[in-house]
Structure 1
Amino acid sequence: MDIKKALTHSVFAVSMFVVATPQGMAATHVERDKKPELIGMGSGAIAGAVVAGPVGAVAGAIIGTVMGQNASFETLATEQQDTIETMNAKNEQLSLVTQKYNEAQLELARLRAEQHSIEDIDLAMNIQFRTSSAEIEPHFMIQLDELANFIQQMPEAQCS
């Protein structure tokens, strides 16, 4: 068989195979690169046509297509594995952030409870003066300074 006839048969076989194959070999529809599949089909058809004529072109195209699909699915599987690893790493980070958030919520609840207990303190003080004197004794002055400091730190505190 001459080269011209072999090329004609292989082009015919490839064109027939391209029309007949779109997604018949794939079990499920998955977004993947179809270039390896088409390259495998074309090169398999040409190699098969050169070696065994039209029958070889069809067989080569089928084998090339399967090999191309295999390469395409391997690439897709690698990409999916990378995506899974990235998502696992992000889930780990999210878990740490969630744990810190929960700890902060517990600390906030503890501080709020402590604040309410401070707000509910009744301050009872007796300041005494000496008879016929307006001077405050030094130990009463310390208590008044502490009370003033407390009031400055808690502006929402109310006197009753």
Structure 2
Amino acid sequence: MKKHLIVLAIISSLSLSTVSVANEVTESSSPRSGKSEMVGFGTGAAIGAIVGGPIGAFIGGFTGTWIGKSVADEQELAAQTQQLHQQQDEIEVLAKRSEQLESLTQQHARVNTQLEQLKMAQQQKLEELAIGLNVQFKTGSSLIEPHFKQQLDDVVYAMSLAPDLKLDLTGYADRQGDSSYNQALSEQRLAEVRAYLVNQGIDESRLYSQAFGDTAPLQAEANLENNFFDRRVTLKLMSERGMLAAQ
């Protein structure tokens, strides 16, 4: 009995020393430094000594160490599991943002494609419209007839709806008379049409003009009918891109 008490006292002293050492080690190392194992060893040794004497003390000590290690492993596993869940949540958030960015990129590409198609359709429509935009004049005259003024008013309205539209004006004369006179006459007709458009509110920067006199007849043969169509100012509506391409 006396030996058992002595052993118990020694084991208790070892337990306290073990706990103290475990505390010191814990303060100078990572959270997983062995505190739980050391505490487990001391506690297990004390319980083992009471129950089974010296042999029980050693068995209890090792058992306590194993229990303490298991507790520490479970704590570390729980911390890693929580960290893993946080990382998975972050990955899901990043994945959703990536999907949203890809969707926006696709939408942007579709909008650009549609915009390009609209511009092409607009340019084609303008080219079709330009075929009939001619102001005809009487022989030797630069006066704009009333029914052609209505046509010019329609052009002004179209340009007011589309600020990016430009207007290409070209003046001509028939082959009657002197070429120098015909050149001056085509320039005067061009100036009259240009002035009318400006007076109706079209900025001059949107107008491009050039006169060719009698050098560009529509038909090779000069007669009454062909001369009538040669006395003209043509108007061609164009977008900014189309105007730059034509220059």
Q: In structure 1, what is the Cα distance between the partners aligned to 2:22 and 2:64?
A: 6
Q: Please, what TM-score do these two structures have when normalized by structure 1?
A: 0.62
Q: CA deviation at 1:69?
A: 1.9
Q: In structure 2, what is the Cα distance between the partners aligned to 1:17 and 1:154?
A: 77
Check whether the contact 2:19–2:38 (CA below 8 A) recurs between aligned residues: yes
Check whether the contact 1:13–1:45 (CA below 8 A) recurs between aligned residues: yes
Gaps of 5+ in 1: 23-33
Identity %: 17
Q: Please, what TM-score do these two structures have when normalized by structure 2?
A: 0.44
Check whether the contact 1:48–1:61 (CA below 8 A) recurs between aligned residues: yes
Q: Secondary structure at the match of 1:159?
A: strand
Which residue of structure 2 lines up, in the alignment, with residue 158 of structure 1? 168
Q: CA deviation at 1:155?
A: 4.7
**2:105 maps to amino acid:** T
Which residue of structure 2 lines up, in the alignment, with residue 47 of structure 1? 40
Q: CA deviation at 1:14?
A: 7.2
1:90 aligns with 2:83: no
Distance change >3 Å, CA 68–CA 47, structure 1 → 2: same
**1:127 maps to amino acid:** Q
Which residue of structure 1 lines up, in the alignment, with residue 154 of structure 2? 146
Distance change >3 Å, CA 70–CA 64, structure 1 → 2: same
Q: Secondary structure at the match of 2:169?
A: coil
Give the structure with the higher percent strand.
2
Q: CA deviation at 1:74?
A: 0.7
Structure 1 segment 1-160 matched on structure 2, within 5 A: 1-2=8-9, 3-12=12-21, 35=31, 37=32, 41-52=34-45, 54-56=61-63, 58-118=65-125, 120=127, 122-123=130-131, 124-127=133-136, 136-137=145-146, 139-152=147-160, 153-160=163-170
Aligned residue-pair number: 140
RMSD after superposition: 3.6
**Residue deviations 1:12-56, cap 9 Å, x none?**
46767999xx8xxxxxxxxxxx74x46xx4245323421235534
Higher Cα Rg, which structure: 2
Gaps of 5+ in 2: 1-7, 47-60, 171-247
**2:95 maps to amino acid:** N
